[in-house]
A and B are shown apart, each in its own frame.
Chain A
């Protein structure tokens, strides 16, 4: 049972995804399977966190060799977690919200937030609606978008809203030209700002309407925007503590690791290109040509040769030989490997999905 159930789940999920590739009517099923995988990832994150704390905590307690590194890892982990989850140092976002209450128990909320830099987002959630029905969302009397309530009578959407970009200097026609994918209602929203106003967003003497004064309607339900005070911005707002930790601690460390590649390439190349036998000599010779052909100054060696493609001697220019080797020899070799990989993937997938190879979940011998 312990092995049969995972095998059945694997076979069902894998074969379904293959079948869906040829049966478009079932594409929704593929989306559902992928959604289940996303849910699994959330539990995986908890597993991962527990594993980190257990591994490094154990090393620290036992004061094993290198336990200091574990201490740094644990402190870094907890600090990042606290700063990220607690949204420490994240500035408040400006927002307005409107409630919708329908006569038959329909309820909803439209939330518009501004992250302080002109990026504005609409979160819309309405439930208890007539299923499979289109509803218009209008803001300030202008149609923003039409939503379908789907099978479950629910609308849930997150929309990027137009920025407040010097609204008095851009005519509606110009704005429409700049934003061909937006309708008139959306463009009009670009001229409404969310209080409290950010001074630099408004030009002197501007009288753009505030969100708090415009009416909003979802279908036949109407509401008014109200200011929302107690909010925080996005957790990864640039320049704030979490972003700072990432940009100024993690990124330099990661780049340092990456930079070490330069030295490793040199030492690996030194070993690989030692001329021990005929194959090594051929490899060395080819690599030498490619290196020179790909180096700006390397091609100067054969610069005396004609560059006109109609002259046969032009072939012997280093950059041309390099292109020839990469286009024909290298591409042919890579394609052969790629075809082998594709066939290997097909065979392995088939064995796993049909349960022929079950060694990854253990196999009685």
Chain B
């Protein structure tokens, strides 16, 4: 395997897991999944016979387990990191079958487990021998047996959505080269019962998502098969289904918990700061230099240029930039310095005018405010840059501030400012642009420092509390990174693949990281 193949192979397996995660029935999600993930694989109780399933939830679980197991056949096992995922995928399939209470015997799963053991053994020995055939042989009877229990077609409400989508799963129609999917509304009103052709799909397709239906309206679906001459050769019809909107996206529960912890710690520290507790914040050189830069502009009698980034007002970096602009312009008003703000977005211009005006009022110098210094340049990236660099060369500003979101223009701006001899302070949360600013500017606020600037410059205790809250979030992240790294190291070493630790890593990977 070439290194270039690795991501593609990884994606093949991840995609199967992703599909499994997205389509798993509600019963197998959320807290139930968490419990499953933390438990070792338990044995299944064999159920004799292969009767067709009538329960929709049960059928979905079986269909998805087949999908996961079939995807396993397609994985190229030369990619070692996938073996860890392989164990997890088998665990997922088993969880789904447990939910479905399906008749898969321990013996069959024992064969699958033995095949995986063999793969793990080859990993331990450092060999690159693919043993796919062993696994495929073990999987085949399981997939066949499960297939016999499935109904021809099922339709079910897409989980965790706003009620506008229905998923269909159906078997092959013998003799069909294409399938046509139709929606048949089931309202009492005869005007609403007009069928709609949703599309023509490949004969091998087994799943279709109707994302154009309407919530709370009962519908049926037909899947018709056509041969090469366009003759209908078979048809499946679903039961009536009424899609509903869901009130909680349970698949995002881990993300919600993480968000609440972070936000809770921010609010908690703000309250702590309000109660009078002193909080220590490290010095940020770039922000300490703001006053020097404004002072320099005053002494030299030259203007300052403040560039609020090139994104629109709905980007948080632009909002953070405007917050810093408020502080910079207040200092400028106190020193009687001139700040020019060229904008790429008219709404940013309007907000910047409001920000600067209130800063001048707060500084007690409303008469010094001149809205002509905050102007719209152009919505085009390089036209905007050309204007700013031209202004820099002509006016030779004493200080340049670049705060917000920047892309290819970052170095053009910073190098021009460097050539004109300005003090330059930059800040962005675009990691790719940071090296350019670091190379060409006197001070650079890196990532989070851009967002911390407002609290830092204001010096207000409750604002500083929010920075401590961020630190708490960082601590939590560090703990998670260290624990997860240790766990995945043990799991990939091969000795704990099937233990609770393997399930825990699988849970982190599939349920926490993917959704978050």
Contact = CB atoms under 8 A, between A and B. Distances in A.
**B is bound to A:** yes
Interface of A: 21-28, 37, 40-41, 44-48, 51-52, 54-55, 58, 65-66, 69, 130, 132-136, 143, 145-146, 148, 172-173, 176, 180-183, 250, 253-254, 257-258, 260-261, 264-265, 267-269, 271-272, 323, 334, 337-341, 343-352, 354, 356-357, 359-365
Contact of B349 (A48, A58, A352): A48
Nearest to A52: B376
A24 B199 CA distance: 26
10 contacts: A21-B252, A180-B178, A183-B197, A268-B415, A337-B431, A347-B469, A359-B454, A360-B355, A361-B358, A363-B358
B88 interface: no
Nearest to A177: B178
A146 B210 CA distance: 13
Contact of B439 (A24, A46, A58, A271): A271
A174 B384 CA distance: 50
Nearest to A334: B431
Contacts of B138: none
B512 interface: no
Interface string B161-172: 111000000000
B362 interface: yes
Nearest to B381: A254
Contacts of B346: 44-48, 51
B503 interface: no
Interface in B369-391: 372, 375-383, 385-386, 390
B228 A22 contact: no
Interface stretch (B38-46, B53-61, B256-264, B490-498): B256-264
Interface string B143-162: 00000000000000000111
Contact of B372 (A23, A54, A253, A337): A54
Contacts of B358: 361-363
Contacts of A260: 412
A346 B197 contact: no
Interface string B435-467: 110111000001111111011001000110011
A183 B199 contact: yes
Contacts of A268: 411, 414-415, 436, 439-440
Contacts of A343: 262, 448, 470, 473-474, 477
B245 interface: yes
A143 B198 CA distance: 12
A272 B439 contact: yes
A349 B161 CA distance: 25
B319 interface: yes
A339 B262 CA distance: 12
A347 to B, nearest CB: 5
Contact of A340 (B163, B351, B375, B448): B448
Contacts of A271: 439-440
B320 interface: yes
A134 B439 contact: no
Nearest to B213: A148
A261 B248 CA distance: 48
B353 to A, nearest CB: 10
Interface in B162-218: 162-163, 178, 180, 185, 189, 191-192, 194-197, 199-202, 214, 217
A25 B362 contact: no
Given A65-B394, A268-B411, A346-B470, 18 more contacts: A25-B246, A27-B162, A51-B375, A55-B376, A58-B372, A133-B191, A136-B196, A181-B199, A264-B412, A272-B439, A334-B431, A341-B451, A347-B467, A348-B323, A350-B266, A351-B266, A357-B323, A360-B323
A206 B469 CA distance: 74
A47 B349 contact: yes
A183 B214 contact: no
B162 A25 contact: yes
- Chain B interface size, under 10 / 10 to 19 / 20 to 34 / 35 or more: 35 or more
B214 A346 contact: no
B220 to A, nearest CB: 13
Contacts of B447: 337-338, 340-341, 344
A184 B354 CA distance: 57
Given A47-B349, A48-B349, A58-B372, A359 B327 contact: yes
Contacts of B351: 360
Contacts of B435: 272
B458 A350 contact: no
A127 B412 CA distance: 53
B200 A344 contact: no
A352 B466 CA distance: 11
B458 to A, nearest CB: 7
Residue with the highest number of chain B CB atoms closer than 10 Å, among A45, A51, A135, A360 = A360
A344 B422 CA distance: 28
B9 interface: no
A351 B466 CA distance: 8
Given A23-B247, A37-B314, A130-B191, A348 B355 contact: no
A350 B470 CA distance: 11
B470 A361 contact: no
B180 to A, nearest CB: 8
Contacts of B408: 258, 261
Contact of B375 (A27, A55, A69): A55
B361 interface: yes
A281 B266 CA distance: 39
A345 B429 contact: yes
A3 to B, nearest CB: 8
Contacts of A339: 474, 477
A350 B466 contact: yes
Contacts of A364: 362
B508 interface: no
B319 A352 contact: yes
Given A40-B347, A260-B412, A135 B194 contact: yes
Nearest to A13: B314
A127 to B, nearest CB: 16
B200 to A, nearest CB: 5
B11 interface: no
Nearest to A346: B262
Contacts of A250: 380, 383
Contact of B160 (A24, A182, A360, A361): A24
Contact of B470 (A130, A146, A344): A344
B192 A365 contact: no
B230 A173 contact: yes
Nearest to A309: B3
Given A347-B266, A362-B358, A362-B362, A48 B376 contact: yes
A362 B451 contact: no
B359 interface: yes
A38 B454 CA distance: 28
Contacts of A340: 447-448, 470, 474
Contacts of A356: 270, 462-463, 466
B316 interface: yes
A23 B246 CA distance: 7
B361 A362 contact: yes
Interface in B249-289: 249, 252, 256, 259, 262-263, 266-267, 270
A254 B411 contact: no
